[in-house]
Chain A
C-alpha cells in the first residue's frame, strides 16, 4: 500500500533496536515532510560510514584520520596508562565505564562473547587483536569487565586462564550494591551476591 521507496525506508528503520513497525513509519513520514532533515541525515550517515570506524587497536569507535588510519581518542592519548587494560564485550560497556571516570588505562572491545548456542567459540573471538594490543601497550594488568551472564562469565574465565599463562595480572569486576542506594531497596539477588562476594575490611579501598 505504501510506495516502494517509502516502504523500503520503513523496513530499514524497523531494523533498529527498540523501533517497531509503527514507529518506523512515523520516522519515514516525518522525514518526507521535512526535506532538509532528510537530506542532512543522508549526508551525515554517508559521512559517518566513511569517517568513523572501529579503532584498529581496541575496537572502540574512532574517526578516520588524514592517512586513512582509525585510532580512537583513548588509544592515542599518551596520558593513558598502557599497562592497565580493561576488556569489555561492547562499545556501550566501554562508554559506561569511561563515564565513571575511574579507569585510567585503556580498553579492548571484544565485540562478541562465547556462545555455544550461537556457534561462537574461541576462534571467533578477536584474540589475535587482543594479543597485538597486549604487546603494543606492554600491558601488565587486565580487568575483565564482561557482563555477569553465563556467556560473559565463561568468556572472562577463558580469557583469564589464557592471560594468566603469560604472567599477566588478571582481575574480574565485582558485582554488588549500587552506590547511593539504601540496602533495603537493593534487589535480593544483587544484595545476595554482594554478601557472598564480601571483602575483608582492611582491603576495602
Chain B
C-alpha cells in the first residue's frame, strides 16, 4: 500500500497522570525533544501519549497505575492532525479517562464500537528501554510485537485473539474444576480451536510481514556480512480440526501444567545470527541491534498496513546504546517522516541541521512541570 497519510499530535493535555499534575503541550510537526533529569516525568509524558492513542500502557499490567496519587482519575486529551496529500488536513480528538474502576476512551466525544477501533485510529509505535530485550528476552515480548502489527494488518485476526484468550481461560477453568471429560469441555475446545486457528492465521501473516521488513532494517543497523535469518515456530495450528484434536489429546498434560500447551500463545519468532539462535548466542550488542531492527520492522509494518506514517515515541533509548548505534538511530530519525517524540538526559546530542526551526520543539520536564526552551 502506498503511504499518503501522516498523523501528528497537535495539542496534548495531561492531567493527574503519574507524576504529571497538569501539562499542556503543543508539539512540533516533526521532532520533539523532551529533556530532563531522571525521575522528572519524561517517560510519563511518552506513556500519556501512548495511552491517548492506544488505550493501553507499555509500562505496567494495570492501566489504573497511571492515576496520580491522591487524584480521582487520570486524563489525557490529544488533538491529532491527519494530513493526506492533496486534501485538507482533518483533526480528531482522542480522550482517555482512567479511574480506579471505570475508564473511558472517546473519539471526538463518542464511544467507538470496539476498543480496537480506538487503538488503530492514530497509528503509533513506541520504543522504550524494555524493548531492548526483544531479541534476548522471552518469546512473549516478540509475540507482543507481532500482535501490535496484527491489530493493523488483520483486525478480524486480532478480534479472534481476544476470543481465543477468553476461551483459553474458560477451558483451563473447566479442566481444573471438572476434570478432563465433559460435554461443555468438548464445546469450549471446539470454540477455542475455531478462534485459535483464525488467530494463528493472523499470526502467520504478521510474522511474514515482520520478517520481510526485518531483513532490510537489520542490514541498516548492523555489519552487512553478518548472516541473519528469522523463522516462525508456530505453537498451534491454522486448521480448526487439527487444533481441536490436539487440545483433546493434551487435556491431562494441560491440567497438570495449569496451562494449555498447544496454541498461538506458544508461538515463537526465532531469530538466528550466523546460524545460531540470537537469544542464547548473540552478543549483547548484537541483540540490541536486532531489537532496534525489530522495532523498525514494526514501524514499517504499521505504516504499510495502515497506509499512514505512524507517530514514533522513543523513550531514553540512546543511553543504552553504544555511540555508533546511537548515531544510526539519530540518522534514522532525521530521515523519518514520522512525528517523533524522544526523551533524553542529554539534548545537546540531538543536532538536526536539516530541520526548520518550526519543525522542532525542545522542552524540559522538571518535577512534572513542562518548561519550554
Contact = CB atoms under 8 A, between A and B. Distances in A.
Interface string A143-171: 00000011101110110011000000000
B265 to A, nearest CB: 15
A116 B156 contact: no
Contact of B184 (A114, A117, A149, A192): A114
B187 A154 contact: yes
A98 B262 CA distance: 42
B170 A116 contact: yes
Given A116-B170, A187-B114, A188-B156, A154 B188 contact: yes
B177 interface: yes
B178 interface: yes
Contact of B173 (A116, A153, A189, A192): A116
A189 B182 contact: no
> Range of interface residues on chain B?
20 to 34
B46 to A, nearest CB: 29
Given A150-B163, A153-B191, A192 B170 contact: no
Interface residues of A, number: 23
Given A121-B178, A161-B183, A188 B173 contact: no
B340 interface: no
Contact of A117 (B113, B156, B159, B173): B173
Interface in A64-119: 114-117, 119
Top 7 A-B pairs ranked by shortest CB distance? A192-B156, A158-B187, A157-B187, A116-B173, A116-B170, A154-B187, A188-B155
Interface of A: 114-117, 119, 121-122, 149-151, 153-155, 157-158, 161-162, 187-189, 192-193, 196
Given A117-B170, A117-B173, 17 more contacts: A115-B170, A116-B174, A116-B177, A116-B184, A150-B163, A150-B170, A154-B167, A154-B184, A154-B191, A157-B187, A157-B191, A161-B183, A187-B117, A188-B155, A189-B116, A192-B156, A193-B156
Interface of B: 113-114, 116-117, 155-156, 159, 163, 166-167, 169-171, 173-174, 177-178, 182-184, 186-188, 190-191, 194-195
